[in-house]
């Protein structure tokens, strides 16, 4: 049986959005390119952080053509700090496909938008409705939470059935809505009012149409069924002291941070003593260190969606000035800013430059 939801919530929600929404640059335009860029940035990034990246990205690449023609390393460098770099690579490749297949004009149908690299159901629905006012749902985490509370849906939102039922409820509401305004209103309501914890039901414009508004049960929704298993990894980076500069190399395609740069890496199964790292270095690179560092220059834990990275950066001096060779290259300290590094290493470089 379809979820029960009242069409009467559409009008007050849209009116609330028009008078209460945050002023954001991608909301002041119907340019599908700018909306697309904003949606990709915001997939795994808070609005406050994403705003500056969006402005910088649009400044460097004001159109699909400029983005498509840019080298990938430049795109990744501008993305540095946002993480989830596959987003940037897909954005770049999709721009090239738009140039090749659509003569630089962003496609105007949901199906064509959905076919571009890196664009899923939500992003395609967001672009189709925000840019072209097409009647497609844009169901993100905010919307799933809002709709699960409105309908008191006990289906887990991370299950296929839960997503399907809640999306269908949004589709039913779009029949009497302005798609661009309504979809953005649901998202904004989830971001500002119907928050994960301590939802402000007294400030909600559609509380009278919500099954759980003001009840103790509201924070128990939405339900989730899946538990994420976190993999722990221990990454030990070695910054070699050299009069010629720093050794860096580009990461491969089959792991995190694909295409980004890093210092020589010793990955271990657990936290490892510097003396043992010196032995591992000798085995891997056939050179030794003149002294063993007593402590790391920099350390941090960096959480990804399914991994917790335990990162330490050490400085070492080789016993002989033997080049590391491929795939490493020597760059000066001033040149480090020309390369895109993962967030932890970018933070290390910034800290030790100051």
pLDDT value at residue 321: 65
pLDDT value at residue 320: 67
Residue 188 annotated in active site: no
Identify the segments of the chain with pLDDT beneath 70.
1, 241-243, 320-322, 354
Tokens, residue 293: 């560092």
What is the C-alpha to C-alpha distance for residues 300 and 345, in angstroms, rounded to an integer?
A: 10
CB 331 within 8 A of CB 246: yes
Among residues 39, 165, 188, 262, which one is catalytic?
39
**Burial class for 290, CB neighbours closer than 10 Å (0-12, 13-18, 19+):** exposed
What is the C-alpha to C-alpha distance for residues 26 and 51, in angstroms, rounded to an integer?
A: 9
pLDDT tens-place string over residues 129-148: 999 999 999 999 999 999 99
Q: In the chain, which residues fall in CATH 1.10.340.30?
A: 3-220
Q: Where are the alpha helices (DSSP H) in the chain?
A: 10-20, 32-41, 47-60, 64-69, 72-79, 86-102, 110-114, 121-132, 141-151, 160-174, 179-192, 274-285, 343-353
pLDDT value at residue 1: 58
What fold is seen in the domain 231-352?
Nucleoside Triphosphate Pyrophosphohydrolase (3.90.79)
Alpha-carbon torsion 134, 140, 146, 150, what sign? positive
pLDDT value at residue 287: 78
pLDDT value at residue 81: 87
Angle (CA) 232 262 256, round 5°: 45
Second CATH level (architecture) for the domain 3-220: Orthogonal Bundle (1.10)
CB 297 within 8 A of CB 124: no
């Amino acid at each position: 049986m379809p979820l029960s939801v009242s069409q009467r919530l559409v009008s007050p929600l849209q009116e609330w959005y028009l008078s209460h929404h945050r002023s954001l640059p991608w909301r002041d335009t119907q340019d599908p390119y700018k909306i697309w860029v904003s949606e990709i940035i915001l997939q795994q990034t808070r609005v406050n952080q994403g705003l500056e990246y969006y402005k910088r990205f649009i400044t460097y690449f004001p159109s699909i053509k400029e983005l498509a023609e840019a080298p990938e390393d430049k795109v990744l460098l501008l993305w540095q700090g946002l993480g989830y770099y596959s987003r940037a690579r897909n954005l770049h490749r999709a721009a090239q496909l738009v140039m090749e297949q659509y003569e630089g004009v962003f496609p105007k149908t949901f199906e064509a938008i959905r076919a571009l690299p890196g664009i899923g159901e939500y992003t395609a629905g967001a672009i189709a409705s925000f840019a072209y006012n097409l009647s497609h749902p844009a169901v993100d985490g905010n919307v799933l939470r809002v709709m699960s509370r409105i309908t008191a849906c006990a289906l887990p939102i991370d299950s296929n059935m839960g997503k399907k039922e809640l999306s269908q409820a949004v589709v039913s509401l779009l029949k009497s809505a302005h798609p661009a305004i309504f979809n953005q209103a649901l998202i904004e309501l989830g971001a500002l009012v119907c928050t994960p914890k301590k939802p402000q039901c007294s400030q909600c414009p559609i509380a009278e149409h919500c099954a759980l508004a003001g009840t103790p049960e509201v924070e128990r929704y939405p339900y989730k069924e899946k538990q994420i298993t976190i993999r722990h990894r221990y990454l030990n980076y070695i910054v070699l002291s050299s009069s010629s500069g720093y050794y860096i190399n580009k990461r491969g395609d089959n792991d995190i941070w694909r295409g980004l740069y890093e210092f020589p890496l010793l990955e271990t199964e657990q936290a490892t003593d510097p003396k043992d790292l010196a032995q591992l270095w000798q085995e891997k690179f056939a050179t030794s260190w003149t002294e063993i560092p007593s402590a790391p220059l920099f350390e941090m834990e960096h959480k990804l969606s399914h991994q917790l990275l335990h990162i330490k950066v050490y400085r070492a001096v080789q016993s002989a000035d033997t080049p590391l060779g491929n795939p490493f290259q020597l760059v000066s300290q001033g040149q480090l800013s020309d390369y895109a590094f993962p967030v932890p290493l970018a933070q290390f470089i910034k800290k030790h430059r100051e």
